[in-house]
């Protein structure tokens, strides 16, 4: 999908405000500018950034209740997918987005983005393996293999929480592998950006 098609879905299907779209456009400009010097996203995905990164991240707003007083933690935020997009969507001052990233370069980019877009988000330059994190939601995109992610989450995350993981076509296979090491309740939803990709919803209540 091109930019216009993605924007149409963001507004009509995912309820992004026009002001949010403007912030996303600024965010994309920042990514492409920063990416000329530092490799924060694959250069092969720059031309498809609206579908591959923006809309792919934005689609999970369907599974998050932003009206609560709480927080969301993006593990391995990288260039801010999906955390920055979720922060742009969020209008509740009492709902906070936390971006966990261990790369200093990417953390600097995230802080600059948050400042320029005036977002309710915080960057934590941290190795999450050493953390104990309290959040209502944990989101992950291209972070770790699911079996390792589930084992790590049991060490760092304080229950109850929900986890949202963006996965490829082998989502069920990954789930089956992870279930051999740790039990969890899950549901698989279809992605709106790729027919083969999936969204894994895990309930750790």
Report the pLDDT value the prediction gives residue 191, as an integer from 0 to 100: 95
Q: Residue 167 pLDDT more than 80?
A: yes
pLDDT tens-digit profile of 172-183?
999 999 999 999
Per-domain residue ranges of the chain? 3-204
Report the pLDDT value the prediction gives residue 79, as an integer from 0 to 100: 96
Q: Report the DSSP pairing between strands 137-141 and 70-75.
A: parallel
Model confidence at 62, pLDDT cuts 50, 70, 90, reads very high
Q: What span, in angstroms and rounded, lies between the C-alpha atoms of 101 and 196?
A: 28
Model confidence at 157, pLDDT cuts 50, 70, 90, reads very high
Report the pLDDT value the prediction gives residue 145, as an integer from 0 to 100: 86
Whether 183 and 170 have beta carbons less than 8 Å apart is answered as no
H/E element, 113: helix 104-117
Report the pLDDT value the prediction gives residue 140, as an integer from 0 to 100: 93
pLDDT tens-digit profile of 84-135?
999 999 999 999 999 999 999 999 999 999 999 999 999 999 877 777 899 9
Mean pLDDT of 139-155: 88
Report the pLDDT value the prediction gives residue 131, as an integer from 0 to 100: 78
pLDDT tens-digit profile of 18-59?
999 999 999 999 999 999 999 899 999 999 999 999 999 999
Report the pLDDT value the prediction gives residue 176, as an integer from 0 to 100: 95
- Domain 3-204 in CATH 3.30.565.10? The answer is no
Using alpha carbons, list the distances in angstroms from residue 56 to 6, 34, 48, 50, 148: 10, 21, 11, 8, 23
pTM comes to 0.95
Whether 72 and 139 have beta carbons less than 8 Å apart is answered as yes
């Amino acid at each position: 999908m091109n930019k216009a098609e993605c924007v149409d879905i963001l507004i009509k299907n995912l309820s992004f405000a026009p002001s949010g779209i403007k912030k996303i456009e600024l965010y994309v400009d920042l990514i492409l500018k920063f990416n000329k010097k530092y490799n924060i996203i694959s250069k092969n995905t720059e031309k498809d950034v609206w579908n591959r990164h923006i809309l792919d991240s934005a689609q999970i707003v369907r599974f998050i209740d932003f009206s609560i007083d709480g927080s969301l933690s993006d593990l391995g935020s990288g260039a801010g997918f999906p955390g920055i997009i979720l922060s742009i969507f969020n209008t509740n001052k009492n709902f906070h987005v936390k971006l966990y990233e261990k790369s200093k370069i990417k953390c600097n980019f995230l802080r600059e983005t948050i400042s320029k877009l005036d977002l309710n988000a915080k960057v934590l330059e941290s190795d999450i393996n050493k953390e104990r994190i309290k959040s209502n939601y944990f989101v992950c995109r291209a972070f770790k293999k699911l079996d390792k992610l589930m084992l790590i989450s049991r060490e760092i995350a304080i229950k109850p929480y929900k986890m949202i993981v963006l996965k490829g076509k082998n989502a069920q296979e990954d789930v089956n592998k992870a279930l051999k090491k740790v039990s969890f309740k899950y549901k698989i939803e279809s992605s709106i950006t790729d027919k083969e990709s999936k969204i894994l919803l895990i309930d750790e209540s």
